[in-house]
Structure 1
Amino acid sequence: MSLQEAIQHVNERIVAACKRSGRNAEEVRVIAVTKYVSSAKTRAVLDAGIQHLGENRPGVAVPKWEELGGRGIWHFIGHLQSRKVKEIVGKFEYIHSLDRLSLALELDKRAAAAGVEVKTFLQVNVSGEASKQGVKPEEAEHFLREIRELSHLKVIGLMTMAPEVEDPELTRPVFQGLRELRDRLNASGAWKEPISELSMGMSGDFEVAVEEGATWVRLGTLLVGKGEET
């Protein structure tokens, strides 16, 4: 399947999932997870019309960003070490893995120095798996209140990863749980303004995620043909 055919196939599946759940397909955006592919393949993704790129290794992503002349809108989608923040602020517009106070403080400091605002997703470990990063759902409100005065950090959404299972339907409670948590956090006023975005769903389960309210899906295998999403 060509890249254009893969994009069309994904878009058709998103439209169908939205129709099943009474949503508008324009609410759902695709992040092409390009972390395991070359600059040439990443350029092809951009040329094909997908502008949102997902990477998780600063040492690989930054040279790729430079080679591509800053084209595209870059999302950091993996665990982010605080010491690596200075390498990506100003290049990555979105961080999907905010999960601790020290990272929030470092992001805010580096963003202030660069004169930018960093859009972040609070990563939540809804499934409770020990192998997953993220705050516990019951800790999310306290965390948001703890960082709400950081002026260069903007929490726009929540992110989670579901367990890897053969039947995508088994991931539904995780995605439903993240959506319900977002709604509770908005009702509590934990953040300075309403949180609207949900980053959830990968190649094996994105249709269920869309049915449960995903606004961003992170797709690697289906689009670029190899590699695993983080």
Structure 2
Amino acid sequence: MLKENLKQVEENICSACKRAGRSRDEVTLIAVSKTKPVEMLKEVYDQGIRVFGENKVQEMMDKQEVLPSDIQWHMIGHLQRNKVKYLIGKTALIHSVDSLRLAEEINRLSEKNDVVTKILVEVNIASEETKFGTSREDAVKLVEHISRLSNLRVEGLMTIAPYVENAEDNRQYFKEIRKLSVDIKQKNIDNVSMSTLSMGMTGDYMVAIEEGATMVRVGTGIFGARDYSI
């Protein structure tokens, strides 16, 4: 099942890239493996996937211990400041930085461990009350503040679009965050790159790619429905 699912996702990514006149190399597929057992991750790994996304710090740490060392682990879930210490030096990218206080804690521990941590600023582009992320209005100011932290590197933006039945309904939000990333890039802020745009999940990643996503986070499309009982 996983092999077939991955093949379908890959075909969809290639089709979306073709429609947008983009190269397939411009888009990184993140296999969202939260709640999934190590055996399933190994099966996906054996199909060539090397980038995995986790929502919970402890789950990521546990999987990291037993899976191959060439995997890139991405923290895509909401991150509490008291959990940051476990991630430093062990994650390729933190997608969910939504406040200066969180950024300062990541920076403090990165400095202490003599590493530079790559992050994305999470933007609540649809202004949903149930979602984390800085507002569109505050995003530029937050990026500017974080840029002054010596051991962080802002690689771009991340957003979680609303859950919709029709992926087309999210196109406007993907366009808006793409525009925001362009606006920030034009400011030429030191220590800030807007090369990464993490947006799009199983239900809408093809539309996200068409609107400029460089990373898509696909869980259900690869692994099937999540088991929330664990």
Would you say same fold, with TM above 0.5? yes
RMSD: 1.3
Preserved CA contact (<8 Å) 1:70 1:91: no
Report the counterpart of residue 91 of structure 2 in structure 1: 92
The amino acid across from 1:105 in the alignment is E
> Could you say which residue in structure 2 is the equivalent of 1:138?
137
What is the Cα deviation at residue 21 of structure 1?
1.3
Q: CA deviation at 1:158?
A: 0.3
Pairing 1:180–2:179 present = yes
- The corresponding residue for 2:6 is 7
What SS does the corresponding residue of 2:108 show, helix, strand or coil? helix
CA contact (8 A) 2:153 2:192 kept: no
The number of residue pairs the alignment matches comes to: 227
Give me the whole-angstrom Cα distance separating, in 2, the residues matched to 1:192 and 1:107. 15
Q: Which stretches in structure 1 are left out of the alignment for 5+ residues?
A: none
In the alignment, structure 1 residue 52 sits paired with structure 2 residue 51: yes
Corresponding residue for 1:199? 198
Give the aligned partner of residue 154 of structure 1.
Answer: 153
TM-score between the two structures when normalised by the length of structure 1: 0.94
Percent identity between matched residues is 41
Map of 2:215 onto structure 1: 216
CA distance in 2, matches of 1:94, 1:66: 18
1:197 deviates by 0.8
SS in 1 for 2:194: coil
- d(CA) in 2 for partners of 1:98 and 1:190? 18
Amino acid at match of 1:7: L
Task: Give the C-alpha shift of residue 32 in structure 1.
Answer: 0.3
8 A Cα contact 1:34 1:42, kept in partner? yes
Q: Deviations over 1:180-224 (max 9, x none)?
A: 000001112345343111000000000000000000000001111
Structure 1 position 126, deviation (Å): 0.5
Give the CA deviation at 1:164: 0.5
- For the residues of structure 2 that align with 1:215 and 1:144, how far apart are their CA atoms? 19
Kindly indicate whether the alpha-carbon contact (under 8 Å) linking 1:141 and 1:190 is maintained by their aligned counterparts in 2: no
**Aligned to 1:115, what secondary structure does the other structure show?**
coil
Q: Give me the TM-score of the superposition, normalised by structure 2.
A: 0.94
1:19 is aligned to: 18
Does the Cα contact within 8 Å between 1:36 and 1:226 map onto a contact in 2?
A: no
SS in 2 for 1:122: strand
Whole-Å separation in 1 of the counterparts to 2:113 and 2:191? 22
